[in-house]
Every structure is written in structure tokens, then in C-alpha cells.
Structure 1
Amino acid sequence: MKLNGIYLTGVGVHLPEQVPLEDAVAQGDCDEAQLTTGWRAARVAGTMPAPDMAIEAGKQALARSGHTPGDIDLLLHTSTSHQGPDSWMPQHYILRNTVDREVPAIGLRQGCEGFLAGAELAACYLMASPDRTAAMITTADNFGHPLIDRYRSHHGLVLGDGGTAAVLSKREGFAEVLAVNSFSVPALEGMTRGDEPLFPPGCTVGRKITLERQATSRPGDVTPQEAVVIAGKVEAEAVRQVLDDAGIEIADITRVIHPAAANELYLEHFLKPLGVGPSHGMLEFGRWNGHMGASDLLAGFDHLVGAGDLRPGDHVMMFAVGPGMAMSYGVIRILGTPGWVAS
């Protein structure tokens, strides 16, 4: 979807303590085999609730944006793991502790592509009425709960904790969101469902989440080879469409921000069809944080902006894949250096 006049005015992050993998192995929390996979460290929040990380990131994004709470007309919160008591909705808690306005607060469960899916919905909401000014999107996860093991749920994957936020606005900001497109791939729905029964839900009976088992015990309606072909076709169309909507070519892309990964083979699968190499991605940044669920994209973007790695006129492509299967792609143009970096 081509966007008109939707800007990023502020981003915020809350990244907890960085725990080196060697320390996690020495403490008995992580198997030594993970040291060979490329991961270097994971962000570990301890007992800090995920919504509280979203609040900290949201406050920072709002302060950096130059907006007041009264400018925020929508709050979207997205996550990949449990946030608090069942039947409780964390987005209202986040709203109360950030902008504290009687505006819609909506939760999204889109997995790792939650920020981009939220950006598309927020842009539609803002463009639908001239009276609306800005929207806040927050993300957060703490994988330290008993239902998942951040180091052992999947060989080759380390999960990190963190919270991020962004303010999208119709007022001009330091970056313009040119296009965002989200896709679903129904044929691959079973890839992360595995053979686990749908009822009773696993969390209600204390069943631990084993991502590797879910990924390898999927229903047999689609073979792994067929899945690669199906996903590849959707990816190619998604890239073509988002570039067309943004009015640029792949050669115009300066950096690609993606879910955290620890090795180049993973990145090549996604970046090769784009015609760019792993050096355009966020490999090293991800290795030192772990896969932070829905927070990877904004955390990576904040890192590039804060480090001065992006200049006016640069184009950033974001992409993410979520369980189900869902894919989202977005293109952002850098317009200037934000005040919090310049100062």
C-alpha cells in the first residue's frame, strides 16, 4: 500500500541487560552447542513485565517525537508471547501509562511482523480522517517465563527480551513511511502449528512451547520443498509490490532490517531474492541481542539511526515473517537527522 504523508517522528527502545552466551552456559542455562550457532548474547529482562518495557519505550518515543499525549489518536500493541494475566489486555495498561487518553487501544498478535502490520493499520486509521494526527505502536516480550526456554526451544535460535515503540504521524518527521504491505500465505498455515492439539490450549495445561518441534512436526499437507516454492513466490510478489508502491528500485535500498539471525545462511534465504547481500542486513546487531520477537525491527532501526549509519535520502526496507504464515514489507525514506541524535 502506497502511503501519503505518513512520517516517523519518534522511536524508542528499552533493551535490558545483555547476557553473553558464555555466561549463560557457565550458569547452566544454555547448552554449549549454541555457542557454535553464531549467537553472542541475549537481552534478559529478569522479572520486568513485557508491558512495562513497552511503556518505557513508548515514553521515549513520545518525548523524541515532539508530540504531546493529546496528539495521539490510536495505540497499537503487538507481542509474540504472554504479557500478563489471561483475559487481561495489556494495551490498555500501556495506554494508561503513556498517553492516558480515551482513544482506541488495540492489541495485535502477528508474531515477528507485528510492527509492520501495525504500521499499515495505523496509517489507514490516520488517513481515514483529517482530525487524526498520530498513532503510537509498541512492541514487547519477556521470554523468561516457565512456558519457554529462551536457549533450548530451538537449536540455532536464542530469544531475547525487549520493548520498542514508534510514533507515526501526519506531521513531517525525520523519516517518511513510503509503503507497507502485509500478506498471508494460507497454504503454509500448518508450518508453526505442528501436531499439537488446538484444545485445550497448551498454556492452560502448562505445556511448554517447543518451537523446533512445532516447526518439524507440521501437518503433511505441504512438503518442505513445496513450502519453499510457495513462500518464494509470495516473497517475490511482496518485494515487487512494496518497491512499486514506494516508487523506487531495489538498487535504491541502503539497508535491510529483518528479524534477528545469527548466521548468513538464514539471511541469504531472504536477502538473495532482493539482490542484496548479508552486509546490507543486521546480522551482527542481532547476534548480540537474540531474537526479540516483534521488537527486532524497531530496535534495529533505532540502532542504525542512533549510530549515524543512515543519511538523508537513504531508503530502508523492513521485512518480517510471522507464524501463520504472514509476511510484511515496508520502505522508509530518511529525511533528516532527528534531534535526539543531533544533540
Structure 2
Amino acid sequence: MKFNGIYLSGVGVCLPERVPLEEAVARGDCDESQLTTGWRAARVAGTVPAPDMAIEAGKQVLTRSGHAPGDVDLLLHTSTSHQGPDSWMPQHYILRNTVDREIPAIGLRQGCEGFLAGAELAACFLMASPDRTAAMITTADNFGHPLIDRYRSHHGLVLGDGGTAALLSKREGFAELLAVNSFSVPALEGMTRGDEPLFPPGCTVGRKVTLERQATSRPGDVTPQEAALIAGKVESEAVRQVLDDAGIEIGDITRVLHPAAANEQYLEHFLKPLGLDPSYGMLEFGRWNGHMGASDLLAGLDHLISEGALQPGDHVMMFAVGPGMAMSYGVVRIRDTPPWRA
């Protein structure tokens, strides 16, 4: 979807300390075989609740954006793992401790593509009424709980903790949101469901999340080869559409933000068909954080800004894939150097 006059006014992050993989191996938390996969470290939040990291990022984004709490007309919170007590909705807690206004606070469960899906919804919300000014999107996860093992849930994957926030505004911003397109691929729904029963839900009986088993134990509706062809076709169409909506060519892309990965083959799968080298991505940055769920994209954008790696006129493409299967692609154009970069 093409947007006009929707700006990214600020980005906020709350990233806990890195724990090197060698240290995790020495403690017995991580198998030594993970040292060969490319990961270098993981962000580990300890006992800090995920919503509290979202709150810290939300407070920072308000300060950086130059907007007051009264400017915010919507809060969206997205996550990939448990946030707190069952039957409790973290978005209202985050709202209370950031903008503290009687506005809609909505939770999204879109997995790793939660930020982009949220950005598309938030932009539409802002465009629907001239009286609306800004929307806050927060992301957060702490994978240190007993139902998942950040180092062993999938060989080749290390999970990191963190929270991020973004403020979309119709008033001003250091970047302009040009386009976002989100897709669902129903034919691939079974890929991350695996053979686990739907009832009773795994978390209610203490069943651990095993991402590797879920990714390989497919119900048999499609073969891995068929899944690759279906996903490739949707990805190609998604890229073409988001570039058309943004009014640019693939050669205009300066950098690519994506879910964290330690293996260059992951980036080659997405970027090589576009004629882009893996160096456009954030491979090394991700290796030192772990895969932080929905927080990877904004953490990567904050990193590029802080390093001075983006200049006015640059175009940044974002993509993410979530279980279900969901895909989102977006493009932002850098307008100015944010004042907080100093």
C-alpha cells in the first residue's frame, strides 16, 4: 500500500546486555555445536518482563520524536512469545506507562513481521481521520522463560531479548514511510504448526516450544520443494508491489532490514533474486544480538542511524516473515539526520 505524508518520527530501543556464546557454552546453557553456526552472542534480559522493555523503548521514542503523549492516538504492541499472566493484555500496561491516554491499545500476534504489519495498520488508522496525529508501535520479547530454550529450540537459531518502539506521525519525521504490503500464504499454514495438537494449548500443559520440530513435522499438505516454490512466488510479487508503490527501483535500495540470522544463505535466499548482495543486509549486527522476534527491524534501523550509515535520500527496504505464514515488505526514505544521532 502506498502512503503519502506518513513519517517515522522516532525509533526507541531497550536492548539488554549481550552474553557471548562462549560464555553460555561454558555455563552449560548452550551446546558447543552452536558455535559453528555463525552466532556470536545473544541479548539476555534476565528477569526483566518483556512489556517493561517495550515501555522503556516507548518512553525513548517519545523523547526522540519531539511528540507529546497527547499527540498519540493509537498504540499497537506486537510480540512473539509470552508477555505475562494469561488473560492479561500487555498493551494496556504499556499504554498506561507511556502515553497514559484513553486511546485504542491493540495487541498483534504476527510473529517476526509484527512491526511491518503494525505499521501498515497504524498508517491506515492515521489516514482515516484528519484529527489523528501519531501512532506508537512497540515490540518486546524475553525468551528466558521455561517454555523455550533460547539456544536449543532450533539448531542454527539463537534467540535474543529486547524491546523497540517507533512513532508514526502525519506531522514530521526523519524518514517517510513510502509503502508497506503484508501478505498471508494460507497454503503454507502448516509449516510452523507441525504435528502438535491444537488442544489443549501447549503452554497450558507446560509443553516446551521446539521450533525445529515444528518446522520439519509438517502435516503433509505441501512438500518442502512445493513450499519453496510457493514462498518464492509470493516473495517476488511482494517485492515488485512494494517497489512500485514506493515509486522506486531495486537499484535505489541502500540497505535491507530483516529478521536476524547468522547464516549468509538466509540472506542470499531473499536478496540474490533481487540482484542484491548480502552486504546490504544486517548479518553481522544480528549475529551479536540473537533473533529478537519482532524487534529485529527497528533495532537494526536504530543501529544504522547511530552508526551514521544512512544519509538523506537513502531508501531502506524492510522485510519479515512470520509463522502462519505471513510476509511483509516495506520501504522508508531517509529525509534528515535525526537529532538524537549525536
Q: TM-score normalised to the size of structure 1?
A: 0.99
1:122-174 deviation digits (Å, cap 9, x = unpaired)? 00000000000000000000000000000000000000000000000001210
Structure 1: which 5+ residue stretches go unaligned? Answer: none
1:124 matched residue in structure 2: 124
- 1:78 counterpart residue number: 78
SS in 1 for 2:302: helix
Cα RMSD (Å): 0.4
Q: Distance in 2 between matches of 1:154 and 1:148?
A: 10
Q: TM-score, normalised by structure 2?
A: 1.00
- Hey, what does 2:215 align to over in structure 1? 215
Provide the residue aligned with 1:52 in structure 2: 52
Give the Cα–Cα distance (whole angstroms) in 2 for the partners of residues 178 and 265 of structure 1. 28
Q: Deviations over 1:66-95 (max 9, x none)?
A: 000000000000000000000000000000
SS at match of 2:233: helix
1:175 alignment partner in structure 2? 175
Amino acid corresponding to residue 332 of structure 2 in structure 1 = I
What is the identity, as a one-letter code, of the residue corresponding to 2:319? F
Number of the residue aligned with 1:292:
292
Give distance in 2, aligned partners of 1:277 and 1:24.
32
* Structure 1 ranges of 4+ moved more than 6 A: none
Summarize the alignment of residues 159-198 of structure 1 with structure 2, pairs less than 5 Å apart: 159-198=159-198
Q: Which runs of 5+ in 2 are unaligned?
A: none
Secondary structure at 1:121 match in 2: helix
In structure 2, how many angstroms separate the alpha carbons of the residues matched to 1:328 and 1:295? 14
Moved more, 241-250 or 259-268: 259-268
In structure 2, the residue matched to 1:5 is 5
Partner of residue 61, structure 1: 61
Aligned-partner Cα distance in 2 for 1:109–1:208: 19
Q: Residues 228-286 of structure 1, C-alpha deviation per residue, up to 9 Å, x if partnerless?
A: 00000000000000000000000000000000000111110111122101100000000
Instruction: Kindly provide the CA deviation profile for residues 158-214 of structure 1, in whole angstroms up to 9, marking residues without a partner as x.
Output: 000000000000012100000000000000000000000000000000000000000
Aligned mates of 1:173, 1:258 — CA distance in 2? 22
* 1:321 paired residue number: 321
Structure 2 partner of 1:94: 94
How many Å separate the matches in 1 of 2:206 and 2:172? 48
SS of match in other structure, 1:233:
helix
Paired-residue identity, %: 89
Cα deviation per residue 1:96-139 (whole Å; 9 max; x = unaligned)? 00000000000000000000000000000000000000000000
Instruction: Report the alpha carbon displacement of residue 57 of structure 1 after superposing the two structures with TM.
Output: 0.3
SS in 2 for 1:199: coil
Task: Provide the secondary structure at the position in 2 that maps to 1:136.
Answer: strand
1:37: which partner in 2? 37
What are the superposed Cα offsets for residues 10-48 of structure 1, whole Å, 9 maximum, x if unpaired? 100000010000000000000000000000000000000
Look up the equivalent residue of 2:334 and give its one-letter code: I
Quick one: distance in 2 between partners of 1:339 and 1:86?
A: 40
The amino acid of 2:10's aligned partner reads G
Distance 2:216 2:239 in 1: 27
SS of the residue 1:296 aligns to? helix
- Spell out the pairing of 1:113-262 with structure 2 (5 A cutoff): 113-262=113-262
Q: Residue deviations 1:292-334, cap 9 Å, x none? A: 0000000000000111000000000000000000000000000
Letter in 1 for 2:89: M
1:104 maps to amino acid: P
1:48 and 1:187 mapped to 2: Cα distance?
38
Letter in 2 for 1:261: A
Query: Residues 265-304 of structure 1 correspond to what in structure 2 (within 5 A)?
Result: 265-304=265-304
